[in-house]
Amino acid sequence: MSTIVVPTDTKELAIDAVRRAADLLHAGEVVALPTETVYGLGADAFNEAAVAKVFEAKERPSFDPLIVHLPAAADLPRVASVPPEIEEHVGRLAAEFWPGPLTIVLPKTEAVPDLVTAGLPTVAVRVSAHPIMSQIVRALGNPIAAPSANRFGRISPTSASAVEAELGGIIPMIVDGGACSAGLESTIVQIEATEKGKPIFHLLRSGPITPDMLKPFGKIKRRKPTDRPSTEPQDAPGQLASHYAPRTPLRLVENPADFKPEPGKEYALLSYRGEPKDGYLHLADWAEVAVLTPGSGKQAEAAVRLFFVMRQLDESGVDEIIAEPMSEVGLGIAMMDRLRRASVKGVDERPDGTEVA
Ligand code: TXA
Ligand code: MG
């Protein structure tokens, strides 16, 4: 199959791209779509045969449920039946963070095929802020089920060319909406009502909506990052030991003293600032040094660049990628989560933090 990459640079091109993508989705095809977090591989969420194509293209096991994208919060009743005890809390989160990179897990309606939710009684829902995605989901008229547009277990794509590298030749169309502005997959929460006003937010995946941003609305609990038997439905995402992984081994080295280069091996350094005083630059004769914050130096810049840089280093031909740690505050929480999951050490050695904030 040849994969068409459709540009959206001008108003006319964007209108045409939206129409073509909606037509293909309507016909039961899959299309790679831009969102503000990462690119998604979309299908009409109410068309089971189309959703099956998403799993097939990604080689994603059917026990890993998909995220459903809605045009607006007002469309929630089409896919979720919100229990009265959390209705107010859902409303507050939606008002504050939608459209945007927050996914909420809620009891599903019968309209949502079991394949979308991997048989779970709940559905993960969000409203994307990307204007092209937003227009496509409106044009289709049905919700769009879309996981990240990568092969299962690989790095999420944050550009159309990254999608092409993952799924070129396998899917009919990629809508090029430019580089993703957040660069990390959405934050996923499940809401638990409590006796005293504020709810508990179970943080199933950290992401661009940080614990500090959620704190005014409820108490945050992070689920223990345990490995589950791999055939059970994944009701907390990314729990498989290897997730978001480059093909080249990546190792998060939390302390510079723990890295001893082996002779004859070529290493790349993934550095937050590229500052000698951080202690990593002098550890080896690096074949490549990639800096996450060459511009503003801010975390948002690092988040936008993280998957892009991981992908670049993966293609550079080194034997191993060594990642420097970064401070686990704000977006650093989600970035360290992704680095740990990508790291050859896997999730087993994560510090046991059940409470994030
Ligand atoms: O930013 C994002 O969320 C992107 C864009 C495309 O929207 N999507 C994305 O999808 O990251 P994916 O499939 O790579 O990750 C979705 C995660 C899965 O790992 C899954 O475990 C979790 O969401 N999930 C889906 N349905 C769930 C449910 N009912 N309960 C708990 N977790 C669920
Ligand atoms: Mg994914």
Q: 346: exposed, middle or buried (C-beta count within 10 Å: 0-12, 13-18, 19+)?
A: middle
d(CA 146, CA 349): 30
Query: Which one of the ligands is nearest to 183 CA?
Result: 1
CB of residue 237 inside a 6 A radius of ligand 1: yes
Q: Give residue 185 CA to ligand 1 midpoint distance, Å.
A: 8
Instruction: Tell me what pLDDT residue 355 has.
Output: 28
Instruction: Tell me what pLDDT residue 346 has.
Output: 46
Choosing from 66, 166, 192 the residue with most ligand 1 atoms within 8 A of its CB, the one to mutate for a pocket test is 66
d(CA 213, CA 266): 40
Instruction: Tell me what pLDDT residue 352 has.
Output: 38
Instruction: Tell me what pLDDT residue 357 has.
Output: 24
Q: Give residue 198 CA to ligand 2 midpoint distance, Å.
A: 30
Residue bearing the CA closest to ligand 1, atom 3: 186
Crossing angle between the packed helical segments 131-140 and 11-26, to the nearest 10 degrees: 40
Q: Which of 167, 169, 176 is nearest to 2 (CA)?
A: 169
Q: Which of 257, 260, 60 is nearest to 147 (CA)?
A: 60
Instruction: Tell me what pLDDT residue 224 has.
Output: 58
CB of residue 181 inside a 6 A radius of ligand 1: no
Q: Which residues contact 57 (CB under 8 A, 6 or more apart)?
A: 30, 41, 167, 170, 171
155 φ, ψ (degrees, to nearest 5): -65, 135
Residue bearing the CA closest to ligand 1, atom 10: 147
DSSP letter (8 states) at residue 343: B
d(CA 285, CA 297): 24
Q: Give residue 278 CA to ligand 2 midpoint distance, Å.
A: 31
Instruction: Annotate 265-307 with three-state secondary structure.
Output: CCEEEEECCCCHHHCCCCCCCCCEEEECCCCCCCHHHHHHHHH
For residue 81, the SS3 value is: coil
CB of residue 65 inside a 6 A radius of ligand 1: yes
d(CA 212, CA 81): 28
CB of residue 158 inside a 6 A radius of ligand 1: no
Instruction: Tell me what pLDDT residue 230 has.
Output: 47
Q: Which residues contact 14 (CB under 8 A, 6 or more apart)?
A: 8, 132, 135
Token pair belonging to 99: 């459209």
Residue written as tokens 């979309």?
A: 42
Instruction: Tell me what pLDDT residue 34 has.
Output: 99
d(CA 111, CA 108): 8
For strand 122-126 and strand 102-107, is the pairing parallel, antiparallel, or unpaired?
Answer: antiparallel
Q: Which of 73, 256, 52, 33 is nearest to 159 (CA)?
A: 33
Atom of ligand 1 nearest to the CA of 41: 6
Mean pLDDT by runs of 10 across the 357 residues of the chain is 97 98 98 98 98 97 96 98 97 98 98 98 98 98 98 95 98 98 98 93 97 98 58 53 76 96 97 96 97 94 98 96 98 97 63 32
pTM over 0.85: yes
CB atoms within 10 A of CB 98: 19
CB of residue 180 inside a 6 A radius of ligand 1: no
pLDDT digits (tens, 9 = 90+) for 3-59: 999 999 999 999 999 999 999 999 999 999 999 999 999 999 999 999 999 999 999
What is the sign of the dihedral through the CA atoms of 123, 129, 132 and 137?
A: positive
User: Residues 63, 228: contact at Cβ < 8 Å?
Assistant: no
Q: Which residues contact 118 (CB under 8 A, 6 or more apart)?
A: 62, 63, 64, 65, 233, 234
CB atoms within 10 A of CB 121: 9
DSSP letter (8 states) at residue 154: B
d(CA 188, CA 205): 5
Half-sphere exposure of 138 (CA within 13 A, CB side): 14
Q: Give residue 266 CA to ligand 1 midpoint distance, Å.
A: 35
